[in-house]
Amino acid sequence: MKRYLTIILIVTGMALMLIPFAGDLYWLSRPVLMEGNGEIPEVGIDVVREDGYVRGEDLQKDIHTPPFPREDYKTGMMVLSIPKLGLVSGVVEGTTEEYLEQGPGLYEISPLPDEEWGNVCIAGHRNAHGSPFRYVDKLQAGDEIVLIFNGFKYVYHTQRVFIVEPDDWTITEPVGYNCLTLTSCHPLRPPYKRIVVRARLKERVALEQ
């Protein structure tokens, strides 16, 4: 009897030790918000590369289709992957609290990755609702961030991570090249500023059909 009691106490103690990590475990175990509930598909060959970066004028020319209208974007049409952080998630269609409870959200004013000179802007929580962007402060120059959208894989390389005031909207403006901007609250508690990750488009790869 004492043996069974000891085992129960050990298991209970281990469970209590895991409670602080419950949020992270929840996020890692939750299903990805993406169409078909599938995984990121394998990719084909590179289609645009020049001096290590994609030129904006080539981005539209090589797709052979007009840019996807922002107003037609729906939750799950785009997938965000940050390999260094172990994050893979569908991108929801807005940044209201209701949307961000589901995962990273595309700014309502954001262009989509296939738009020339587009600055794709995505927001996410760091200390609530799964905290998908909790560790974005760990990203460094050169770290890869990937978007899967409309038949293409867009690979971005982190340029810098910086802090701005919460009302600084200049971070959403075009910067003269195709880029990705991730934003979240900073610091974790109390979050009175915003942390920003800026990444530049490195390559665009056509997905195999």
Question: Residue 39 sits in which domain range?
Answer: 31-207
Q: What is the pLDDT of residue 77?
A: 96
Does residue 18 lie within any of the structural domains?
A: no
Does residue 24 lie within any of the structural domains?
A: no
Does residue 19 lie within any of the structural domains?
A: no
Q: In angstroms, what CA-CA distances link 202 with 23, 46, 102, 169, 209? A: 32, 11, 28, 24, 22
Does residue 13 lie within any of the structural domains?
A: no
Number of domains in the chain: 1
Q: What is the pLDDT of residue 21?
A: 39
Does residue 8 lie within any of the structural domains?
A: no
Q: What is the pLDDT of residue 129?
A: 66
Full pLDDT tens readout for the chain, 209 residues? 545 444 444 444 544 444 343 444 333 334 344 443 334 433 333 333 334 454 444 444 444 456 778 888 999 999 999 999 999 999 999 999 999 999 999 999 999 999 999 999 999 999 876 789 999 999 999 999 999 999 999 999 999 999 999 999 999 999 999 999 999 999 888 878 999 999 999 999 999 86
CATH of the domain at 137: 2.40.260.10
> With contact defined as beta carbons under 8 Å apart, do 79 and 40 qualify?
yes
Q: What is the pLDDT of residue 208?
A: 82
C-alpha 12/C-alpha 25 separation (Å) is 18
> With contact defined as beta carbons under 8 Å apart, do 191 and 136 qualify?
no
> With contact defined as beta carbons under 8 Å apart, do 158 and 173 qualify?
no
